[in-house]
């Protein structure tokens, strides 16, 4: 397995030609790398930042068919996603599990309408169905969501969907690809598309961002899987390219679990912006979101807009007793969905844009995949490699990912956050057994240990402090302030592991402090809102 940066760079230097070169290390690109490598193709993946730094680590943490898409009549997408949901449960049970959802009902009509829709949702899942939707009386709704507003409550509907840890699944995909012979490298930025004398794509150039070294790569097929950045890569191929993606921002807030109650999730089916709103228990906290805000520009670290935060809080207030206010927010985060926008649309709304993916090939042979959703990453990868085989005249090989256990696969259950490590959890526990000092917590309020930092340095290709705190563990998203308090210790341990000096530590801590501002509300942002709509 080539999953260390030094080994990956050495292999890149010594390899003359790749079958498949992938730009982009989010869900889509990593899924493509697994598919290609599992079929036996010589595969390279480069990622400008860390794996899943963008949209792929900032989802609502749901593996789902998409109840909303069913209401919009997007039957094909829902059917496909429900099948893929089942395959994620099958192939990565350590990072995915069944989640119960409750929809509170305040009218008889809505109760029946949603029950009929969810029965259809169950039926479409077929043999991969994970639960049976049912009506709940008022008492049962209150038992499951103790903080729900009871005035006018008539009962509700219970249904089942999936939940997962997005960034952990992403790193498992990278590790799985490596186990099948792929080379995956983070902090490697594509700078140019290489073409032959006929103007056909035959490779790329990238800069390894840690050293500044430029590498030339020859490949039979190049795949652009950069999410919201696909247009940037397409412009490297064709400078006159017109944008394909329309970014839509989805914001979330994270609060303590006391504001919701038990282990059941809340689903609010109709909000003022046309989206559903979820309250989902996750790693001992609750995620509230998400929004749907069309944007005209994209960035790697988007910040939730003030009106998005207000929308989430005011919507929650309509359904929860003693609803959270700005002072209760532990973290805020936003992700940009790379919606495959219709080229002739002048609308400012993203609601009509399909969440399905779009797969295209340019005249020069560059393959681009965009749109889609986390749940369907495997199917998107399969279709992309099927096209790559034809484009690059690769030897035929059938897809093998339908039944391919991902790195960490285990059916054993572990307590707390240890579950998402899967089978790797045993090795991390042994580190602590062999050296009890590694059992020390990195923050007094959370069960993350020093051994996890060591493990990530040696086995999970972290480069920066944020890689660990934001994506290998999820402390930045769970409690931004606590993650900032833990950062000096993380930087010190990483410096020891990577033989870095005090200047590196200081630079990393300054970078991380700046990043955390995107995930927290300033005192001014809190004091300017006394939540007049709530109380």
pLDDT score recorded for residue 345: 46
Q: Is the pLDDT of residue 256 over 90?
A: yes
CA triple 416-422-427, angle to 5 deg: 100
Q: What rounded mean pLDDT belongs to the chain?
A: 92
Average pLDDT over residues 33-50: 98
CA distance 498 to 493: 9
Lowest mean pLDDT among 252-256, 260-264, 437-441: 260-264
Q: Is the pLDDT of residue 530 over 90?
A: no
Which is higher by pLDDT, 54 or 76?
54
SS (H, E, C) 46-72: ECCCCCCCCHHHCCCCEECCCHHHHHC
8-state DSSP, 282:
E
pLDDT tens digits, residue range 91-107?
A: 999 999 999 999 999 98
Structure tokens at 205: 């150039």
pLDDT score recorded for residue 529: 67
CB-CB neighbours of 205 under 10 Å: 15
CA distance 79 to 382: 17
pLDDT confidence tier of residue 140, bands split at 50, 70 and 90: very high
Handedness of CA 163, 168, 174, 178 (dihedral sign): negative
What is the enclosing helix (H) or strand (E) of 332? strand 331-340
pLDDT score recorded for residue 531: 52
pLDDT confidence tier of residue 79, bands split at 50, 70 and 90: confident
Q: Is the pLDDT of residue 74 over 80?
A: no
pLDDT tens digits, residue range 99-136?
A: 999 999 998 888 888 898 899 888 988 888 888 999 99
pLDDT tens digits, residue range 154-164?
A: 999 999 999 99
Question: Per mean pLDDT, which of 30-44, 274-288, 296-310 is the most reliable?
Answer: 30-44
Contact status, residue 296 vs residue 491, Cβ threshold 8 Å: no
Which domains occur in the chain, in start order? 5-55+167-244+350-392 (3.50.50.60), 96-162+246-340 (3.30.9.10), 416-518 (1.10.8)
Instruction: Tell me what percent of the chain is helix, strand and coil, each rounded to the nearest 5.
Output: 40, 25, 35
pLDDT score recorded for residue 66: 79
Residue 475 DSSP SS3 = helix
Average pLDDT over residues 63-77: 77
Which is higher by pLDDT, 469 or 533?
469
Structure tokens at 210: 């840690």
- Partner residues linked to 161 by β-bridges: 99
Which is higher by pLDDT, 269 or 177?
177
CA distance 505 to 490: 9
Average pLDDT over residues 242-271: 91
CB-CB neighbours of 14 under 10 Å: 7
CA distance 52 to 207: 19
pTM of the model: 0.95
CA triple 171-177-183, angle to 5 deg: 100
Dihedral of the CA atoms 319, 323, 326, 331 (nearest 10)? Answer: -80
Q: Helices 480-498 and 502-516: crossing angle, nearest 10°? A: 160
Q: Is the pLDDT of residue 341 over 80?
A: no
Q: Give percent of the chain above pLDDT 90.
A: 79
Alpha helices in 264-376 (DSSP H): 306-317
Lowest mean pLDDT among 201-205, 239-243, 272-276: 272-276
Taking only Cα atoms into account, the Rg of the chain, rounded to an integer number of angstroms, comes to 23
- Partner residues linked to 287 by β-bridges: 254, 280
The strand ranges marked E within 3-93 are 17-23, 43-46, 62-63
pLDDT score recorded for residue 68: 72
Give how far the C-alpha of residue 182 lies from the chain's centroid of Cα atoms, to the nearest Å: 21
Size of the chain in residues: 535
Which is higher by pLDDT, 253 or 353?
253
């Amino acid at each position: 397995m080539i999953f260390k940066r030094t080994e990956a760079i050495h292999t890149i230097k010594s390899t003359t030609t790749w079958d498949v070169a992938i730009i982009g290390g989010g869900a889509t690109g990593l899924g493509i790398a697994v598919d290609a490598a599992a079929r036996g193709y010589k595969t390279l993946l480069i990622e400008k930042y860390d794996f899943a730094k963008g949209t792929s680590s900032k989802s609502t943490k749901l593996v789902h068919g998409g109840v909303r898409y069913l209401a919009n009549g997007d039957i094909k997408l829902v059917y496909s996603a429900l099948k893929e949901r089942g395959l994620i449960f099958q192939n990565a049970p350590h990072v995915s599990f069944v989640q119960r959802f409750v929809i509170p009902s305040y009218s008889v009509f809505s109760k029946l309408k949603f029950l009929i829709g969810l029965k259809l949702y169950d039926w479409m899942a077929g043999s991969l169905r994970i639960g049976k939707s049912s009506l709940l009386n008022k008492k049962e709704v209150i038992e499951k969501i103790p903080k729900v507003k009871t005035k006018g409550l008539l009962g509700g509907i219970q249904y089942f969907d999936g939940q997962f840890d997005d960034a952990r699944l992403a790193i498992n995909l990278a590790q799985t690809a490596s186990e099948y012979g792929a080379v995956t490298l983070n902090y490697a930025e594509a700078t140019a598309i290489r073409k032959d004398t006929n103007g056909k794509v035959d490779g790329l150039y990238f800069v390894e961002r840690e050293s500044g070294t430029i590498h030339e790569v020859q490949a039979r097929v190049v795949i652009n899987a950069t999410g919201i950045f696909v247009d940037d890569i397409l412009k490297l191929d064709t400078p006159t390219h017109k944008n394909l993606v329309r970014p839509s921002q989805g914001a979330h807030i994270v609060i303590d679990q006391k504001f919701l109650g038990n282990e059941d999730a809340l689903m609010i089916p109709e909000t003022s912006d046309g989206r559903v709103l979820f309250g989902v228990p996750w790693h001992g906290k609750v995620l509230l979101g998400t929004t749907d805000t069309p944007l005209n520009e994209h960035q790697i670290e988007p910040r939730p807009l003030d009106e998005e935060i207000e929308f989430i809080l005011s919507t929650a207030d309509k359904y929860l007793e003693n609803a959270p206010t700005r002072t209760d927010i532990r973290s805020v985060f936003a992700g940009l969905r790379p919606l495959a926008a219709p080229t002739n649309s002048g609308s400012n709304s993203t609601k009509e844009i399909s969440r399905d993916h779009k797969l295209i090939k340019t005249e020069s042979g560059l393959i681009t995949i965009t749109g889609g959703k986390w749940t369907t990453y495997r199917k998107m990868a399969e279709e992309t490699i099927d096209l790559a085989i034809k484009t690059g005249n690769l030897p035929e090989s059938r897809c093998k990912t339908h039944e391919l256990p991902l790195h960490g696969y285990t059916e054993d259950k572990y307590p707390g956050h240890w579950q998402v490590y899967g089978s790797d959890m045993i090795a991390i526990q042994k580190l602590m057994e062999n050296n009890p000092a590694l059992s020390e917590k990195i923050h007094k309020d959370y069960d993350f240990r020093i051994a996890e930092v060591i493990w990530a340095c040696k086995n999970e290709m972290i480069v920066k402090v944020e890689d660990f705190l934001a994506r290998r563990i999820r402390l930045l998203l769970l409690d931004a302030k606590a993650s900032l308090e833990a950062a000096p210790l993380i930087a010190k341990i990483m410096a020891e592991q990577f033989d870095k000096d005090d200047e590196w530590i200081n630079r990393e801590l300054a970078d991380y402090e700046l990043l955390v501002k995107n995930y927290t509300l300033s005192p001014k942002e809190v004091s300017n809102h006394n939540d007049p709509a709530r109380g």
